[in-house]
Structure 1
Amino acid sequence: MEEKQLNHFSHEEHPLILSELRKENDDGSIDRKFVVCYGCQEQILDPAAYCCFACHFFLHKRCAELPRQIRHPMHSQHDLVLLGKPPYYSRSCICDACGQDDWKFFTYHCSLCEFDLDVSCAILDQPEILEPREIELDCHHHRLIQLEKPASFLCDACGKVDEDSSYLCTICPFWIHKKCALRPTTVKHKDHNHPLHLAYSLPSDYRKFSQQCSVCWKKVRLRDWVYYCGPCRYFVHITCVVISQKDEEQLSEDNEYPISGEQDQNVVKLPSSNAAQELIARFLLREDEMSSSNDSDKSNIPEKIFLISHRKHPLVLSEKVQNLDEIKSTTSDDQEEAKALLLVCDVCIEPICSSDDLQYYACAECGYFVHLTCSKLPPELHIPKHPQHPFSLTCKSSEVGRFICGACHWWTNAACYNCKPCELSICIKCASASMITSSVKHDGHKKHLLTQFHSSDPIHCTACDFLSGGFRFACEDCHFYVCYDCALLPPTTTQRWDKHPLLLIYPPYFEHSEEFYCVLCEREINPNCWMYHCRECDYSLHPLCVPQIGTFRRKKYGRSLNVNNHSHPLTHVPEAKYKSFCGSCDNKRLDWKPAFECESCRFYLCPDCAFKKELTY
């Protein structure tokens, strides 16, 4: 070998000579000198190295040719200078990358910041020092270089602090774990039956509404790397995906939960077009009574009854002539709607016509109607999820009669069950739902049965995305929580300007991967929530925007009351006329809002003022 000398700053006493460190003997064996590189403190396994045999000083060829000055991504604000040993009084330092202490050899150093890297961390521990391995990712504009030596840092891909090999950008502060950088672009997950595609941030098409990981149930942030299925709107953090051949072979399907014949008798099936009455009947009658009840029992129904909620006149047993949906009339839409609103149960605020019973109780003089089941409600109720106190059936103290239900959290003028010590009132429909002691099978979650759930902490309802505490049905394994109000939504409904039925539909919407807009409020519908849809006309609505669901499902309109300073009774109407004002509270506009109206005087009161001014007798 031609002798090559090098004057190196780390060994100024003598020049270093590039020498062979192994020799082949006559018998074919090889003698290798065991020497350690002064710069990196690793054994020199290369055939040749720079040596000073007199001082027993050796350097890898690559260590001897290191650049004297570099810009490192871990300390990009200043250049690092290569020193033969740390510049401190102790002649040792702690590496700021790997944490190795008492390092006394080649060090890349920043004197301004007292920042130090041992040579292995600084040169990326690569055989090709000046040409390190690099990768390119679609999510980043610059090439990334690989750091083989593990380091602990906050990964820009998964957002976790783990000690791992990594990839760095030398131009901007972008640093990711090696395992994140090498993620496959498509995977299969054991809990989803479609391939999931890698996205380096939450895709822009899904940013309008909050998304959550379907494994850990935490929110998916905009900058998170995720695997997702677009048509299903299914998202999983990259650290939550379990990738294995076993997982790929056992992909789950959204099959219905198998229920045995014995279970089927006890399971409550929702949605139902007559859910409130069915649930009331369940807790009024024992199971054996429900199965043995027949038409002969109904012959014992009294012709007249008195209820505490209506003391003025007796309620007379009446019979429905025909379903109001089949009434043929030449009247206008508004008149037809007003006619339908008349026959609403004053106890549960559900249409009389929706009940399976052909009979009901009525006071024609007052326009007061009650389902047969609602007329039998017990005066006291013991709700399983609120065992500390009984609930008492409470009569409305006024014609306005409004309160906020402690279960569904809506204003209503239905009758209620009240727990006085806890100051908790629950409307009849929610009370009937809270009495379910068996499991619930709901079409909105076919994988598992639902059970009663109560929490004082706010939880998002899966169906409407409203945040509230209280009573609901839940599948805790799937983080599926549905409030009573949504659980009792009917499977179909109608609205006056469309002859087609509106169907309650649930995500994922495979046939409608695009955006949804409510045709009534003209706002976008969260595609992770339930909605009503007309298949024939291909339009969608928020459930609350459908008048039969949002306006008329919680309040009975048409009731009249007398108030101070006005000689005529006022009628509760769902919509005040255009350019109408409250006659009490600073002329507040009431256009198309619920109000109390004197039709002869065009005098209006908002519900708040009507409640304050109502005359009680």
Structure 2
Amino acid sequence: MHVRIVILTCVLLVHSFLFDPEHRVIRHQGHGEHTLTLQRQAFFRCDACWEETNDYSYVCLTCDFWIHKKCAFTPPIIPAPAYHHHPLTLIFCIPDMLRYFSRYCPICKERVQAFCWSYYCHKCTFFVHLKCSTTTVSLIDETEDNDIGDNEADLVQFPLPDDESLLDLIITQCSKFLVETQGEGDNRSDPHIIDHWTHPNHPLALHQFTVGVDDDDIRVLICDACVQPISIRRPSYYACTECGYFLHSFCANKLPANLPVGASPFHPRHSLVLTRQYKFFSFVTCGICRYHTNGLYYRCKTCNIRFDIRCVFLPTRIRHKSHKHHSLVQSRPLDTKCDASEIKFDGIRYACETCSRFQISVTCAFYPSRMKHRYEDHSLILRHPPFVYEGVFYCQICEEQVNNQWWLYHCDECNQSFHYNCVRWTESVKVGRRIKHSFRNQEHTLTLVLKNARRRNSPPYLCGICGQGHTLQYFFECEGCGYLACIFCIRRVRAVWDFFEVLC
């Protein structure tokens, strides 16, 4: 009897609510054209949150617009969300000027559809789903709350301070290996002239990089072993000025010719041999970062896998600014998306063992926290999402929009922003070396360059040999007439020449 009374009471309450004039028909800012009428429970897809559920709804009887009853009464403002620094405002679609990129909810990592309702912070271009907006999980990074133990305090901190620090890391890690395997190592001074196995045609002479004299040549002064710049920080280098071939003093004399079994954490089962390609325009793919290199590399003869010098000496465990509370350890990727930069990758990752979903690609670890502005004496700072910036901003190199949900470089002094991959390309390929090439009875001096059609609708670069177009490719370019030959055609043509030279 009591149960019947309770059920009858509930039915009467629902019935009275459905036909209460104050609630049955409403006007909502999210659908200002017509009134919305409350309907009984039904299964439908909500036009506000895009969730399919069996629930009460408000319906536009004119244009078949359906929203959940709970969505209709969501508050217009969340004044102090647990997961963000600023108040959030309810919006009914992503603004037109912000639809250039796909937007993702930081709570569930799923895409925020352009025409669904969401909460938005205009200062940070921050979006969150309606269903996720009530979470109490904090995404705000408290820098003082760092639970990394004392035994991990000496881990290498990424991102590295500047674009020359990668060489410092290579030398530090390699020196540790040499001490462990060979004792204190060889501290003798470098000879002034050497015959190096990587450049058998000419001897290499010892030089010192000096500020003011070699500044204009910094683009050319790239080590052909590690493909890192030669600068005043490590001024000693060897050079063949006739060929434009350069080696850091360390790379010329201290790189171990062999890594024994267990020396590399990436490939501990077999020994690795330091190797070079026969031609500088023949690249190999690193088995760790999956990027190309024409520098020296370590090769496993058993598995025929190659490892870039910058990758083979990376530490197995690191700390990274984008994930301050836990250390990151090397492992195979769970999926193909980097949680720090949102780029896809298929190489080795650094992952958090505590937060099982967080991973960062090895290539993203190479981006320094600070770089010099190309044309100004300013510093570009690597910003991690979310980057607080009102409105839309554009990359100063490609002039396309910059998404503040991804990494970006920003100059605070001139208020300019840059795509991280426009400022610094992650591939370990040295460009700038030259070859002679005959075309239509004319001999051209061609320089190896990377051509990147930065804008989305930019026309491709056309190869003068095969006629195919490429938006991102290595070419040989004639500085005099602008003639381009893609690297695939040059390899094919030079292979034929080499074949005939052997026959002759």
User: TM exceeds 0.5?
Assistant: yes
Query: For 1:528 and 1:216, how far apart are their aligned partners in 2?
Result: 14
CA change 1:189–1:397 in 2 (3 A) is same
Q: Which has the larger radius of gyration?
A: 1
**Pair 1:398 & 2:279 matched:** yes
Q: Is the 8 A contact 1:461 1:467 kept in 2?
A: no
Residue 362 of structure 2 is matched in structure 1 by: 484
Residue 200 of structure 2 is matched in structure 1 by: 311
Residue 48 of structure 1 is matched in structure 2 by: none
CA change 1:177–1:501 in 2 (3 A) is closer
Determine which of 489, 501, 505 is the counterpart of 2:383.
505
**Pair 1:271 & 2:156 matched:** no
Unaligned runs of 5+ in 2: 452-460
Q: Is the 8 A contact 1:345 1:371 kept in 2?
A: yes
Query: For 2:64 and 2:270, how far apart are their aligned partners in 1?
Result: 60
**Pair 1:134 & 2:25 matched:** yes
Residue 359 of structure 1 is matched in structure 2 by: 236
- Give 1:322 shift: 1.6
Give the TM-score taking structure 2 as reference length: 0.76
**Pair 1:286 & 2:176 matched:** yes
1:85-96 mapped onto 2 (5 Å cutoff): none
- Give 1:222 shift: 1.8
- Aligned residues, how many? 471
Query: For 2:20 and 2:151, how far apart are their aligned partners in 1?
Result: 74
Residue 391 of structure 2 is matched in structure 1 by: 514
Q: Is the 8 A contact 1:558 1:572 kept in 2?
A: yes
CA change 1:206–1:558 in 2 (3 A) is closer
Residue 215 of structure 1 is matched in structure 2 by: 107
**Pair 1:322 & 2:210 matched:** yes
Amino acid at match of 2:64: P
Q: Is the 8 A contact 1:399 1:560 kept in 2?
A: no
Query: Which sits farther off after the overlay, 129-138 or 381-390?
Result: 381-390
Determine which of 112, 116, 119 is the counterpart of 1:227.
119
Question: What secondary structure, in the 3-state scheme, does the structure 2 residue paired with 1:574 have?
Answer: strand
Q: Is the 8 A contact 1:430 1:485 kept in 2?
A: no
Query: For 1:369 and 1:485, how far apart are their aligned partners in 2?
Result: 24
Deviations 1:186-222 (A, max 9, x none): 2343332322222233344432211111111111112
CA change 1:216–1:352 in 2 (3 A) is same
Query: For 1:502 and 1:310, how far apart are their aligned partners in 2?
Result: 36
- Give 1:439 shift: 1.9
Determine which of 291, 299, 317 is the counterpart of 1:438.
317
CA change 1:353–1:133 in 2 (3 A) is same
Question: What secondary structure, in the 3-state scheme, does the structure 2 residue paired with 1:458 have?
Answer: coil
Determine which of 434, 437, 447 is the counterpart of 1:572.
447
Residue 493 of structure 1 is matched in structure 2 by: 371
1:376-415 mapped onto 2 (5 Å cutoff): 376-378=254-256, 379-380=258-259, 383-385=264-266, 391-415=272-296
**Pair 1:170 & 2:61 matched:** yes
Residue 92 of structure 2 is matched in structure 1 by: 200
Residue 160 of structure 1 is matched in structure 2 by: 51
Q: Is the 8 A contact 1:144 1:168 kept in 2?
A: yes
Residue 245 of structure 2 is matched in structure 1 by: 368
Query: For 2:76 and 2:469, how far apart are their aligned partners in 1?
Result: 58
- Give 1:398 shift: 1.2
Determine which of 400, 403, 406 is the counterpart of 1:529.
406
CA change 1:212–1:411 in 2 (3 A) is same
Amino acid at match of 1:513: E
Deviations 1:117-167 (A, max 9, x none): xxx89x9723785957333321123333334x6444333333333343433
Unaligned runs of 5+ in 1: 1-35, 37-41, 46-119, 329-335
Q: CA RMSD in A?
A: 4.4
Amino acid at match of 2:298: Y
Query: For 2:465 and 2:9, how far apart are their aligned partners in 1?
Result: 94
Q: Is the 8 A contact 2:465 2:485 kept in 1?
A: yes
Query: For 1:230 and 1:589, how far apart are their aligned partners in 2?
Result: 38
Determine which of 185, 200, 204 is the counterpart of 2:76.
185
**Pair 1:340 & 2:218 matched:** yes
**Pair 1:417 & 2:303 matched:** no
- Give 1:346 shift: 0.2
- Give 1:459 shift: 1.5
Query: For 1:130 and 1:528, how far apart are their aligned partners in 2?
Result: 45
Question: What secondary structure, in the 3-state scheme, does the structure 2 residue paired with 1:459 have?
Answer: coil
Query: For 1:44 and 1:208, how far apart are their aligned partners in 2?
Result: 52
1:580-591 mapped onto 2 (5 Å cutoff): 584-586=465-467
CA change 1:486–1:204 in 2 (3 A) is same
